[in-house]
Structure 1
Amino acid sequence: MKKKLLAICLVLLMVFTFAACGPDKENGVSAELTSYEEALEAAKGTTVTFYGWGGDEVLNKWIDQSLAKTLKDEYDITLERVPMNIEDILAQLSDEKQAGEEKGSIDMIWINGENFYSAKDNGLLYGPFTSLLPNMDKYVDMEDPETENDFCTPIEGYEAPYSKAQLVMITDTAKIETNAIPTDAKSFMEFCKKYPGKVTYPALPDFTGSAFVRNLVYELCGGYEQFTDMKADKETVKNAIQPAIDYLKELNPYLWKEGKTFPASSTEVQNMFAEGELVFHVSYTAYDVAQGIENGTYTDTTTSFQFDKGTIGNTNYIAIANNAPNKAGAIVAINEVLSAKMQQTKFELTKYIPVVGYNKLSDKEVKAFERVDIGKGSISSEELLSKRLPEMPANLVPIIEEIWLEEVVGK
């Protein structure tokens, strides 16, 4: 009798152990996802949340209609987009971690740069997971430096590429003199003097304003190479960027409100430009002008331009929260985002630069991308990428922003 009871107990123990280790069909999670097929099976019938900045209505439309529809039709996954600023997302993840919540509310996260550095460093992200994505190897250029590093932070499988961005500068040729478009920092200073009070940039730490300042830092301080391995020490960084700080202080009197204050966001600068208050705008959306002309925000004479030495570009990514309730669903959704079909429809609607490697596409897929009309006033992808400058290490960015606030504002 005792032996029979012991055998029954052992069987029950094995059943419970198997159930604990197998896929959890209620929320799509398994203790250890070891293959895409396992994730695919576990994700059926589940809901996956996608948290990220919600200010781009065109991108929101693509997520809600194209991506969500495909996930539902082909995988029986419901995608729920949750608009939230990345600072609030990371704060929520941090609070959940401190509270010991093993299952949070966030699955997928739109992220990059210093936010990825901070989230990864603080154990807020799940991974590595990109090796489970069939489309990662099928469509992404694995030798692209931005596939391996995000603002010089090793990715190590903790996020997958979403789209590429690159800094462009914008003006209205009907409101400036012929040949007045600046080609470098020196001619930009002359441009601001020619149109006093009609030029500004977003206050740091706005993402676009910060990138614009770093672009000037590269040109005025000897290029980007020195920053790759620079110690994240305020005095070291300040000494390195001093020529740019001096330049920005000299620039201030010719800016909007004499540089004593700056617009709080790139959206505010865009609105001021669209209303004719400014003759200059800077955007991290490479085809911002084309979209603006198409929807009536900009005039037909609006155009984008770059400095001769190039502009900073980066890749933005999708990560998975470490306590995501539906890791399996997130893996399937991210894999679909990386498909040629999804990248092409996203490029067509949003004009975000795709992350696919064209050398990995079929002839038919290449032609689909080539048929996309990038619109009026835009710089071609080939020219943009030929002048693409890498980002600097993420841990240097907040230091530069702090120095800018102390040294440049109102000086």
Structure 2
Amino acid sequence: MKKRISAALLAVAIAFSMTACGNNERPKEENKTASVTEEMSFETMKEEAKGTTVTFYGWGGDEKLNEWLDNTFAPAMKETYDITMERVPMDIDQVLSQLSGEIQAGEKNGSIDMIWINGENFRSAKENNMLYGPFVDKLPNFQDYVDAKSKDVTLDFAYPIEGFEAPYGKAQIVMIADTAVTPDMPKSAEDFKEFVRKYPGKVTYPALPDFTGSAFVRNIIYEICGYEQFLDMKGDKETVKAAVEPAMAYLRELNPYLWNEGKTFPDSSTTLDNMFSDGEVVLNMTYDAYGTAVKIADGAYTQTTQSFQFEKGTIGNTNFMAIAANSGNKAGAMVAINEMLSPEIQADRYDTLKVIPVLDNSKLSKEQKASFDGVDLGKGTIPQEELLSKRLPEMPAELVPIIEEIWTEEVAGK
């Protein structure tokens, strides 16, 4: 997910967005599955969902993902289940604002079925009773192919999922450089400081609360302060501020050597990516661990571009699919989510989009494993075994906006 909405903003949305849903009511003939009983079998869900439309709301800024959803996943759903997939590109704050408005207005046949979501957004939505669940226990592919005990599946930014989300894909932050320009890629925070000094004005990171910029700052916090203390830390600002101060001091030391002397930062990871592609800066960063190969293949990056990570590791998380509490097609949404968790679809996403799979390799057949093992990740990527061996856990969701606020106060423009 590329954008977030805080609990406070969500409360405002709930209070003031009641009029936003006046024209969002879906056709009554598609309301076959507005209610799903606990006793309904998956086979019954498939029958109930035939001929219906499932809306899938989520960030629409990834054109390759959009193309895959429209031209691979949607046709598969139509052919196999006679379900029409309707992708609705929308930033998550708008999605949750629309959803809260519909729920507050008493809309039982809501316009939103599936939601691409994680982190603070999931926590806020779940705590405000905006999501349907638990539902993953009803999905055969979740039961057959997902490690239901893995923290990547049971926790979302250290927040208990409790069956209200199903995994969609894994992400992990990596940094990117052109080895022909900067062969000396930093392996630690200390190396990074020397790197910034060696290339003054040519390094920066997205301004928080950009999702990638925020993750980079948290990774620096882990490097400087360690990560264990944050995994069960409560969201008290003074406690968090004291814990992260060494990292904030480090970031302030970087500012004079950054692009625009750290007086301003790129407004988004997309802007930074464009700056890197144009040669304005010599370092990029992304949560899309294998995206470098795609950009090299497309000609956006040079053939000598390479992803890398710190020796101590980089933060990884899982993004998820949830179902709106007032979805007009819960059965259809569950069929679609179940299909997204099939080995065939996960392998195709891995091959086409270079998204880290969410399935448990030990639960796959030899033929299924072969379909994953045969994927060529392309140039400039970190081998998956090495990448995942250095995967660090996310902080509790409640700490993230606090850290972003502290960064704004203590680092931005200092």
Q: Classify the TM-score, shorter chain.
A: over 0.9
In structure 1, distance between residues paired with 2:194 and 2:153: 38
Letter in 1 for 2:163: G
User: Does 1:52 find its partner at 2:55?
Assistant: no
SS at match of 2:115: strand
Identical columns (%): 63
Measured after TM superposition, the shift of residue 31 of structure 1 is 4.6
In structure 2, distance between residues paired with 1:244 and 1:226: 14
Indicate the residue corresponding to 1:19 in structure 2: none
Unaligned segments of structure 2, at least 5 residues:
1-28
Indicate the residue corresponding to 2:320 in structure 1: 317
Indicate the residue corresponding to 2:253 in structure 1: 250
CA contact (8 A) 2:31 2:328 kept: no
In structure 2, distance between residues paired with 1:44 and 1:51: 20
Letter in 2 for 1:379: I
Q: Which residue, 30, 34, 40 being the options, matches 2:35?
A: 30
Q: Which residue, 275, 278, 287 being the options, matches 1:275?
A: 278
* Deviation digits for residues 218-254 of structure 1 (CA, Å, limit 9, x no counterpart): 1111x22111111101101000100010001111111
Indicate the residue corresponding to 1:11 in structure 2: none
Indicate the residue corresponding to 2:209 in structure 1: 205
Q: Which residue, 51, 70, 84 being the options, matches 1:78?
A: 84
Indicate the residue corresponding to 1:5 in structure 2: none
CA contact (8 A) 2:30 2:53 kept: no
Letter in 2 for 1:195: Y
* Deviation digits for residues 275-316 of structure 1 (CA, Å, limit 9, x no counterpart): 000100000000111011000100001000000000000010
Measured after TM superposition, the shift of residue 153 of structure 1 is 0.6
Residues 181-196 of structure 1 aligned to structure 2 (within 5 Å): 181-196=185-200
CA contact (8 A) 1:123 1:322 kept: yes
Q: How many residues were matched structurally?
A: 385
In structure 1, distance between residues paired with 2:165 and 2:54: 16
SS at match of 2:141: helix
CA contact (8 A) 1:25 1:43 kept: no
In structure 1, distance between residues paired with 2:231 and 2:174: 23
User: Does 1:218 find its partner at 2:251?
Assistant: no
Unaligned segments of structure 1, at least 5 residues:
1-23
Letter in 1 for 2:238: E
Indicate the residue corresponding to 2:351 in structure 1: 348
Measured after TM superposition, the shift of residue 38 of structure 1 is 2.2
CA contact (8 A) 1:167 1:286 kept: yes
In structure 2, distance between residues paired with 1:94 and 1:406: 31
What TM-score does the superposition give when structure 1 sets the normalisation length? 0.92
* Deviation digits for residues 171-202 of structure 1 (CA, Å, limit 9, x no counterpart): 011112x4x21000011010000001100111
Measured after TM superposition, the shift of residue 30 of structure 1 is 2.7
Which of these two proteins has the greater Rg computed from alpha carbons? 1
- With 227-236 and 25-34 compared, the bigger mean Cα shift is at 25-34
In structure 1, distance between residues paired with 2:95 and 2:321: 13
In structure 2, distance between residues paired with 1:271 and 1:132: 43
Letter in 1 for 2:59: W
In structure 2, distance between residues paired with 1:29 and 1:395: 32
Letter in 1 for 2:143: D
In structure 2, distance between residues paired with 1:25 and 1:244: 53
In structure 1, distance between residues paired with 2:194 and 2:124: 39
Measured after TM superposition, the shift of residue 33 of structure 1 is 4.5
Query: What RMSD in Å do the two structures reach over aligned CA positions?
Result: 1.1
In structure 2, distance between residues paired with 1:377 and 1:214: 24
CA contact (8 A) 2:34 2:108 kept: no
User: Does 1:150 find its partner at 2:156?
Assistant: yes
In structure 1, distance between residues paired with 2:280 and 2:333: 43
